[in-house]
Structure 1
Amino acid sequence: MSDSASSLYVPALKVLGLLVGVLLALIVLFLLNQILGAVYRMTFGEWFSPWKHIPKVKSKDPLSLFFGDFRAIKAAQPGEQHVEWMNQLGPVYRYRHMFQVQRVLLSDPKALIHVLSPAKAYQYPKPEYTSAFLTAALGQGLVSIEGDVHRRQRKIIAPAFAPSVTKEFYPVIHRHAKLLTDKLEKIVGDCVARHQGKFPKDTLFTGECEYDRDVKLSNPDNSAVVDTLFWLSRTTLDIIGEIGFSAEFLALENGNDHPLANAMGTLIGAILDLELSTAIFLILSEKPGLKWLRYLPNKRNRLLKESQMVVQNHAAKIIDKMRQDILAESKDGFSSDVMKPKSVISRMVRANMAKDLKPSERMSNEELMGQVTTVIIAGHETTATQNTWALWLLATHQDVQDRLRKELQDQVQKEAADIDSLTEEERAIYDIQPVRDLNALPLLDKVVKESVRMLPSVPSTVRVALKDDVVPLSKSYKRADGKGTYNSIVIPKGHELFIPLNTIQLSKEIWGEDAQEFNPDRWDNLPSSVIDAKMPPGHTFAFLSGPRSCIGKQLAIMETQVLLAHLVLKFKFDVVPGWDLIQRQQVVRRAFVDGQREKGVRMPLILTPLSPKTV
């Protein structure tokens, strides 16, 4: 090395060493600050806590100084640890998040109604790191944004999800449900043919893994293990593509070959695969000076960015075409009384172009494109997941499954007896749907309600207080020290509040001693405690409440009813003997098979097609 090069090399090393030293010093200072804060909260902070009268979880984690009770929560199945603590401490208790930050859990209906009410909902937004995480994946859609922007968007979007509108989508959902059952019949048929030697024994079909193929079935000539989540996810993606913005993904037929469907699959994976390490990074990124953690050039962030570009390009084309079609409907420009649009997004675009809407009230192109992503993910994966849990509950409760099938079969026979009195147009619907009137099936309605109550696809959410507030409770609770009671809770500005959707729906105080058991018949005679709780319509918080409630609730329920009706009429569902499901909350409640984690999230069940005579 020359003297001149050496003279530059040595100072450069010194500068690099200095930068590394400063970085390490900052990391040490940050950790020291957090540790000292945690120690303070465990000791002196406990004396001055406004929540010291609330029963507290006793941590058993040796690393609780750093993680609080967070690791125990993540290690358990969704809501399981919270329910266990609720059974021990009652509906109102507190636990510790990372670095001993306190959180209060409120399984009290009056408290949740207060927090989610129109008067308070925007004072309790999602934490900033959660909104940033969702915006990075979804764009500026209804799920990710907060405050006045959310209020403005929801006002424009709400008419697209009105009950009268969602009913128009019945034929679309029935058609895709029939395509699903046809596909599943073919899959089972191929598996049976493989067993009979018509395919090589080591053949793997789409959506199948070797564990499914190698199960020793009691009836291999008429049954197969099928990953219901794999095929329901593709079906609901096709449904939301068509009713959302008139797109044909053909995911049931072609998997992820469609470029937009492939990009959406990547986005869904990035959003839902929220493991402990990722969650810790997100939580740390809210700390002062650590927001840069969100933008590390890792594989996950790179895939998010690339997929977002694909989605945005497609969304821009979709929205531009819809605008042109709407303007072309009238030579004089837009008119609110022209023919009805065909999709949810087209309705949004039409509403956004209304003449009586002020420029300041309109959604921008970026916001409209954000709705495309949001509609797909919020209306696709959650519905598919909810359906698989409903099938699992029916598979583990064969008596209820048999009763539901009998109800469906009776309705099919009843309508068949009246078919001669129908018009040709009315008869035509039976080409795609087995039952004309799902409202005539009370047990189907109860099964859907009970599956949503017990295993909601989104088990919980978190809110942060923008202002000091006093949250009322539905009753007086005993103080932790046993000296009196309390009937309200002070929530200081900046504190996070855990919204336990699953926990409150499994509360024995509200639902009775069998609250944690699957019992659809409870909906025939709900306990007075449920009625008195004055919960949202449907008597659950699964879809939240108030202005931040799920705008597509009616569509999701209708889709679940239709898919279950088709599936239960066509197949008998059983669990795979010896296979235990491990639930994990990755934004939505998903499942892994114990010992098969490397195969990812799945819901394998044994499907046995029913003979035409039985149906």
Structure 2
Amino acid sequence: MSGSESVAALFVPALKVLGALVGLLFGVVLLFVLNQMLGAVYRATIGEWFSPWKHIPKVKTTDPLALFFGDFRAIKAAQPGEQHVQWMNELGPVYRYRHMFEVQRVLLADPKALIHVLSPAKAYQYPKPEYTSAFLTAALGQGLVSIEGEMHRRQRKIIAPAFAPSVVKEFYPVIHRHAKLLTDKLEVIIGDMIARHQGKIPKDTLMTGECPSDRDVKLADPDHSAVIDTLFWLSRTTLDIIGEIGFSAEFLALENGNNHPLANAMGTLIGAILDLEMSTAIFLILSEKPGLKWLRYLPSDRNRRLKQSQNVVREHAAKIIDKMRQDILAENKDGITSDVMKPKSVISRMVRANMATDLKPSERMSNEELMGQVTTVIIAGHETTATQNTWALWLLATHQDVQDRLRKELQEQVAKEATDVDSLTEEERAIYDIQPVRNLDAVPMLDKVVKESVRMLPSVPSTVRVALKDDVVPLSKSYKRADGKGTYNSIVIPKGHELFVPLNVIQLSKEIWGEDAQEFNPDRWDNLPSSVVDAKMPPGHTFAFLSGPRSCIGKQLAIMETQVLLAHLLLKFKFDVVPGWDLIQRQQVVRRAFVDGQKEFGVRMPLILTPLSK
């Protein structure tokens, strides 16, 4: 037998085996698709007769691929919450729609229902779906956002004191200092852009954080204004803030970008977590199906970037935790407390609480859990806050009358406090070096604007929960049946069923907030409708930060940070939208914005900034 015949003799069987494996894989995939499609056909026809929800109004779909995608494509094609709000306006606060493969979901824009689901008695019976928790744990580690059940209960008990109101107040000067650094930086950047327009800098120069389209905008007053991507600069600022108050790190992101290795790794992690296109979302949803968990681990550029970034984060997190633990041990041993050893940062407070002698070993967080908090604190306290601030600025830019009123109140408070300066001590006067307003609580319009922006455009518009056991969810009122024959005042949620938690949708409900619910009106907070008060919603009268044991533990810090940043920015600049540029909103975990026709430049929030001191 010749050499070529020998190779062929070996090669042909190998090809047959490979062909058999490919055929087997194709057959498995085909069987899975057929199984899901048959289930979808059943649910859309016979199953409808036996559905415990057939009395609930149902969305009518025109999607020819509804058997596969349900109403998912319509929801993803619209801006966050927009399609759900439209259906709510047509069908009422309680209705059902189809997820993939005709799986039914009930939307409950009903305050009593959400309070029930999120309550201390029920919250751990409604965890996040397993595929969501697995995705978040893979990216963030075993932090408070990703874990569930008893582990979450144990972690929150240890972590909660680090976010107590008295502790949050200690961070007030830190936030003011970084806010001032931001406005100083923006003044420099805008000055350089004006100089470029005047020919003092080459016309083709691109400034930090700028896209070519920003540079080419024809401004009405180019000698005094510039287009600035507010998300770019706010994201850097909030990263610096959370680095310092989170674990005493100096990222210097505002000045140097992501040159710090941990900041750079976190930037990559944030991108991988938030850049969820429809195809990725579908893969995550399919990965919950029996036998398809392997879809989560398919080799991809995104997964590769995640793994590399996680290695860097874990390395730095381990060093941070170890140093804090050694400092606390040294302090306890020597009986002294130095400025370095004081438990000032959020993570140091967590480590100290975790080392408390009255904690049982079973109640302590492991090293893995503590390291997970580092990632969680950065992600939860950085990108969401930056995003919320940019949406607040956009709302003010589109409502100039509100912006002018808020700025006037801030300026009046500045003037009022200036009259009292002579009575202050030298130390008290020094506060004004970094903080233009000593008492932001004396500016009611600021509080109203922040509340209204959170109500209208929360950075996280929705979440999903799954029932661990059968439950009956009460409703705040009786709703008409779909057939018009009677009413119902509760919903049966079967074990294993997913429940969509419509944070943004319920905050735009006309039944709760009145006919102007979908309009930006900060003055509504002066005299809330009785329907809002009677709903007994969470503190702040919104669900933007959830409620109960799964509520956002850093809520007070986020609100304070938003107020401080807005105060600094509005006292320095006027904000306008860019004429002719439309923003497209997309929910990629958080609500993000793209400029229509400029998606290649990524997530942005460009606004025209005009310094008030010309």
CA pair 552-334 structure 1, distance change in 2 beyond 3 A: farther
For residues 5 and 500 of structure 1, the distance between their equivalents in structure 2, rounded to whole angstroms, comes to 62
1:339 CA displacement? 7.3
- Asked if structure 2 preserves the Cα contact closer than 8 Å seen for 1:263 and 1:308, the reply is yes
What SS does the aligned partner of 1:244 have?
Answer: helix
For residues 333 and 386 of structure 2, the distance between their equivalents in structure 1, rounded to whole angstroms, comes to 42
- Residue 454 of structure 2, aligned match among 452, 455, 474: 452
Matched, 1:151 2:153: yes
- Residue 593 of structure 2, aligned match among 584, 591, 596: 591
Partner of residue 14, structure 2: 12
1:118 CA displacement? 0.3
- Residue 381 of structure 2, aligned match among 375, 379, 382: 379
For residues 527 and 560 of structure 2, the distance between their equivalents in structure 1, rounded to whole angstroms, comes to 23
CA pair 333-478 structure 1, distance change in 2 beyond 3 A: farther
What SS does the aligned partner of 1:487 have?
Answer: strand
Return structure 1 stretches of 4+ with deviation > 4 angstroms.
332-335
1:146-182 Cα shifts (integer Å, max 9, x gaps): 0000000000000000000000000000000000000
Partner of residue 106, structure 2: 104
Read off the aligned partner of 1:293 and give its amino acid letter: L
Partner of residue 515, structure 1: 517
For residues 297 and 65 of structure 1, the distance between their equivalents in structure 2, rounded to whole angstroms, comes to 29
Partner of residue 411, structure 1: 413
- Residue 165 of structure 2, aligned match among 163, 166, 173: 163
1:2 CA displacement? 3.7
- Residue 582 of structure 1, aligned match among 562, 565, 584: 584
* 1:123-138 to 2 correspondences below 5 Å: 123-138=125-140
1:532 CA displacement? 0.2
1:5 CA displacement? 2.9
Partner of residue 53, structure 2: 51
What SS does the aligned partner of 1:476 have?
Answer: strand
- Residue 77 of structure 1, aligned match among 71, 76, 79: 79
* 1:436-515 to 2 correspondences below 5 Å: 436-515=438-517
1:332 CA displacement? 6.8
Matched, 1:203 2:174: no
For residues 332 and 305 of structure 2, the distance between their equivalents in structure 1, rounded to whole angstroms, comes to 42
- Asked if structure 2 preserves the Cα contact closer than 8 Å seen for 1:327 and 1:333, the reply is no
CA pair 355-333 structure 1, distance change in 2 beyond 3 A: farther
Percent of residue pairs identical: 89
For residues 566 and 401 of structure 1, the distance between their equivalents in structure 2, rounded to whole angstroms, comes to 13
For residues 61 and 156 of structure 2, the distance between their equivalents in structure 1, rounded to whole angstroms, comes to 41
For residues 333 and 298 of structure 1, the distance between their equivalents in structure 2, rounded to whole angstroms, comes to 52
For residues 601 and 351 of structure 2, the distance between their equivalents in structure 1, rounded to whole angstroms, comes to 40
Matched, 1:328 2:324: no
For residues 47 and 361 of structure 1, the distance between their equivalents in structure 2, rounded to whole angstroms, comes to 49
- Residue 348 of structure 1, aligned match among 347, 350, 354: 350
Read off the aligned partner of 2:144 and give its amino acid letter: L
1:333 CA displacement? 8.5
1:232-271 Cα shifts (integer Å, max 9, x gaps): 0000000000000000001000111111111000000001
* 1:269-288 to 2 correspondences below 5 Å: 269-288=271-290
For residues 4 and 207 of structure 2, the distance between their equivalents in structure 1, rounded to whole angstroms, comes to 65
1:60 CA displacement? 1.3
TM-score, structure 1 normalization:
0.98
For residues 334 and 174 of structure 1, the distance between their equivalents in structure 2, rounded to whole angstroms, comes to 30
User: What's the RMSD between the two structures over aligned residues?
Assistant: 1.2
1:331 CA displacement? 1.5
Note the residue ranges of structure 2 that are not aligned, 5 or more in a row: none
For residues 36 and 453 of structure 1, the distance between their equivalents in structure 2, rounded to whole angstroms, comes to 41
Read off the aligned partner of 1:143 and give its amino acid letter: V
1:330 CA displacement? 1.9
CA pair 421-472 structure 1, distance change in 2 beyond 3 A: same
Partner of residue 95, structure 2: 93
For residues 332 and 114 of structure 2, the distance between their equivalents in structure 1, rounded to whole angstroms, comes to 47
- Asked if structure 2 preserves the Cα contact closer than 8 Å seen for 1:327 and 1:334, the reply is no
Read off the aligned partner of 1:188 and give its amino acid letter: I
For residues 84 and 189 of structure 2, the distance between their equivalents in structure 1, rounded to whole angstroms, comes to 39
- Asked if structure 1 preserves the Cα contact closer than 8 Å seen for 2:327 and 2:341, the reply is no
1:418-447 Cα shifts (integer Å, max 9, x gaps): 100000000000000000111111000000
Partner of residue 122, structure 1: 124
What SS does the aligned partner of 2:222 have?
Answer: coil
- Asked if structure 2 preserves the Cα contact closer than 8 Å seen for 1:326 and 1:334, the reply is no
For residues 584 and 19 of structure 1, the distance between their equivalents in structure 2, rounded to whole angstroms, comes to 40
CA pair 59-334 structure 1, distance change in 2 beyond 3 A: farther
- Asked if structure 1 preserves the Cα contact closer than 8 Å seen for 2:328 and 2:341, the reply is no
- Asked if structure 2 preserves the Cα contact closer than 8 Å seen for 1:573 and 1:608, the reply is yes
Read off the aligned partner of 1:462 and give its amino acid letter: V
CA pair 52-45 structure 1, distance change in 2 beyond 3 A: same
1:138 CA displacement? 0.5
- Residue 435 of structure 1, aligned match among 434, 437, 449: 437
- Asked if structure 2 preserves the Cα contact closer than 8 Å seen for 1:389 and 1:455, the reply is yes
What SS does the aligned partner of 2:332 have?
Answer: coil
- Residue 365 of structure 2, aligned match among 363, 366, 369: 363
- Residue 314 of structure 1, aligned match among 308, 313, 316: 316
CA pair 42-516 structure 1, distance change in 2 beyond 3 A: same
1:340 CA displacement? 4.3
- Residue 235 of structure 2, aligned match among 233, 236, 248: 233
For residues 7 and 316 of structure 1, the distance between their equivalents in structure 2, rounded to whole angstroms, comes to 55
1:370 CA displacement? 0.4
- Asked if structure 2 preserves the Cα contact closer than 8 Å seen for 1:334 and 1:354, the reply is no
What SS does the aligned partner of 1:458 have?
Answer: coil
1:7 CA displacement? 2.4
For residues 243 and 315 of structure 2, the distance between their equivalents in structure 1, rounded to whole angstroms, comes to 16
Matched, 1:558 2:560: yes
